[in-house]
Structure 1
Amino acid sequence: MPPKKNPLGLNPLQLKTLTLLQAMAKLDDYSQPGETEGERTIIALPHAHGDHFHLGDATVHASDATGLNNQAVWTVLERKGLARTNFPQSATITAEGLAYDTGMADEILHHHAHH
């Protein structure tokens, strides 16, 4: 039996926010190792220029990132054990948060081929 999709019942905004935090956790410009093995601490949040911003080689629509500035979203991620937060300065994504399959990466992280 395949694992249940979204077993913690996160809403779309929470899923998008966790997806972005996971993407930032993969980039040294935005994160560093956390205090506990398997965690990453987000040390910088991206700033939109116009209607988008860049995370590594991905482009993200600013409208998909509103949860990064929403304390209620961070609180839910913390309550569900996916992050420890110090809104809005930083968040540490737990190993569980990094491993959580949001199913949103292909939807909000747009990768464009450069020729």
Structure 2
Amino acid sequence: MAVVRKNPLKLNKLQLRTLVLAQVIAKDPNSGKIDEATGEATLLRVPHAHGDHVHVGKFTVAARDASGFDNPSVWVALTRKGLVKEGYPASIVLTKEGMDYDTGLGDHFLEESDH
């Protein structure tokens, strides 16, 4: 039986946080578009912080946890690892592998927004 490694691509914490938030955005019909044929997802808009938080779909996330959206190095690393297609900042497209990558963080940052 093969052992499934957690974080096999050895993403750092900022890369993991950015990827999981990008996955959430991609799945929100108001913010992302998933190509059913390829499994790739295009982010139609990237949220920006106001105050100490960011709205990601129906969730509220601490601004510090979403800081990777404005960091070109994060997108270069995610592209190099095959999780995102090249194109930042003009466009952000998660590959099928990027959409399927288990960051292990899906439930750590997200709280439903009260506004």
- Asked if Structure 1 and Structure 2 have the same fold, meaning a TM-score greater than 0.5 normalized by the shorter chain, the answer is yes
1:76 and 1:35, CA in 2 relative to 1: closer, same or farther beyond 3 A?
A: farther
Most deviating of 89-98 and 47-56? 47-56
Give, as a single letter, the amino acid of the residue that structure 1 aligns with 2:81.
K
> Which residues of 2 match residues 22-33 of structure 1 at below 5 A?
22-33=23-34
Equivalent residue for 2:60?
Answer: 59
| Structure 1: segments with no counterpart, 5+ residues | none
1:100, distance to aligned residue in structure 2 (A): 0.4
Equivalent residue for 1:89?
Answer: 90
Q: TM-score, normalising length from structure 2? A: 0.88
Q: Is the 8 A contact 1:34 1:92 kept in 2?
A: no
Most deviating of 28-37 and 89-98? 28-37
| Structure 2: segments with no counterpart, 5+ residues | none
Q: TM-score, normalising length from structure 1? A: 0.88
User: 2: distance between equivalents of 1:76 and 1:107?
Assistant: 22
Equivalent residue for 1:9?
Answer: 10
1:36, distance to aligned residue in structure 2 (A): 5.9
1:89, distance to aligned residue in structure 2 (A): 2.6
Instruction: Please state whether the residue corresponding to 1:50 is helix, strand or coil.
Output: coil
Instruction: Please state whether the residue corresponding to 1:53 is helix, strand or coil.
Output: strand
Instruction: Please state whether the residue corresponding to 2:29 is helix, strand or coil.
Output: coil
User: CA deviation digits over 1:68-110, x for unaligned, max 9?
Assistant: 0011100010000001132223211011001100011111122
Structure 1 segments (4+ residues) deviating >6 Å:
none
Aligned residues: 113
1:72 and 1:97, CA in 2 relative to 1: closer, same or farther beyond 3 A?
A: same
User: CA deviation digits over 1:33-59, x for unaligned, max 9?
Assistant: 349610111121112221112222211
1:2, distance to aligned residue in structure 2 (A): 4.2
Identical residues among aligned pairs (%): 47
Most deviating of 17-26 and 34-43? 34-43
User: 2: distance between equivalents of 1:42 and 1:68?
Assistant: 11
Instruction: Please state whether the residue corresponding to 2:107 is helix, strand or coil.
Output: helix
Equivalent residue for 1:75?
Answer: 76
